[in-house]
């Protein structure tokens, strides 16, 4: 028997004696139909894609396209009105001063008695009263108004001096002996008088404050090795030249400085 793979007879031969309800049997049996459908649908889509430009060119142009071809005329809008500047707040004018009794001042003129039309006021009448061009009755119940008091002359602000003692760990510029720490140790070695004790050696720990002018103050011995080594360290530091002071925020400040001094007697 000749087998044609394009027909479905071979599927029955392959699945003979097997479960034909299995999906593979159904898929292979309907494969021919599925392939034909896919070919037809693909041909239709391909034909539409090729003929789409031709179809679009055959569609007549609508009214919207005619409108789009018209020239656009730019219209210059008038400038926006500027907002009125907010007037600066000005305090209201002070109330007018209360009226006080005023007597008309009549300038004395030499004239004949029959020509006098108005007599000048008497001394009693003008006592504790103002003189003016007319006679006015004052208002005794009026509220007194007092002119506002000014701020007076401006005084320069007093700047408080910075007396805080800073630590070398968090300062911008640390204090320094002129020439460096090596020259300082040389100065101490040339001026320190070690006690005449055989085999004496160790370190003297001292702290001091480098002032803004570079002088050393508040010299303290934290630990010494006895035999007057701490007092001698204080004496030498009091003779020290001025240091370059520490600087914080661009200004010299007081800085606490700690220093170990090594002592070793000659053998």
How many other C-beta atoms are found inside a 10 Å radius of the C-beta of residue 168?
13
Residue numbers in the chain where pLDDT is lower than 50: 65-68
User: CA separation (Å) from 183 to 177, 230, 243?
Assistant: 8, 21, 12
pLDDT, position 34 = 80
Q: Which residue do the tokens 């599927």 mark?
A: 11
C-alpha atoms less than 13 angstroms from C-alpha of 256 in its C-beta half-sphere: 11
CA 263 to chain centre: 53
Backbone phi and psi for residue 232, each to the nearest 5 degrees, phi listed first: -65, -35
d(CA 161, CA 223): 33
- Give the span between the Cα atoms of 104 and 95, in whole angstroms: 25
Q: How far apart are CA 34 and CA 202, in angstroms?
A: 103
> Which pLDDT does position 115 carry in this prediction?
57
pLDDT of residue 66: 47
User: By C-alpha distance, which of 255, 267, 114, 109 is closest to 177?
Assistant: 255
Kindly give the residue spans of alpha helices, DSSP state H, lying in the chain.
Answer: 9-14, 23-29, 31-58, 63-68, 123-126, 181-191, 229-238
Q: What is the pTM of this model?
A: 0.41
């Amino acid at each position: 028997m000749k087998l044609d793979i394009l027909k479905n007879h071979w599927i029955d031969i392959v699945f003979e004696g097997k479960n034909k309800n299995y999906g593979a049997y159904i898929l292979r049996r309907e494969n021919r139909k599925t392939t034909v459908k896919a070919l037809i649908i693909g041909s239709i889509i391909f034909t539409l894609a090729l003929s789409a430009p031709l179809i679009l060119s055959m569609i007549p142009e609508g009214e919207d396209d005619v409108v789009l071809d018209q020239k656009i005329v730019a219209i210059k809008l008038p400038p926006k009105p500027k907002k009125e500047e907010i007037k600066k707040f000005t305090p209201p004018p002070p109330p007018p001063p209360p009226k006080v009794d005023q007597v008309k001042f009549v300038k004395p003129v030499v004239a004949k008695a029959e020509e006098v039309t108005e007599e000048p006021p008497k001394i009693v009448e003008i006592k504790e009263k103002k003189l003016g061009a007319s006679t006015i009755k004052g208002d005794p119940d009026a509220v007194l108004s007092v002119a506002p008091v000014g701020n007076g002359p401006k005084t320069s602000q007093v700047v408080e001096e910075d007396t805080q003692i800073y630590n070398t760990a968090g300062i911008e510029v640390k204090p320094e002996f002129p020439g460096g720490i090596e020259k300082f140790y040389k100065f101490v070695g040339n001026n320190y008088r070690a006690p005449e004790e055989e085999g004496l050696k160790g370190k003297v720990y001292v702290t001091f404050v480098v002032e803004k002018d570079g002088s050393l103050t508040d010299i303290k011995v934290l630990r010494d090795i006895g035999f007057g080594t701490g007092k001698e360290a204080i004496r030498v530091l009091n003779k020290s030249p001025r240091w370059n002071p520490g600087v914080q925020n661009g200004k010299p400040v007081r800085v606490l400085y700690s220093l170990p001094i090594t002592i070793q007697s000659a053998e």
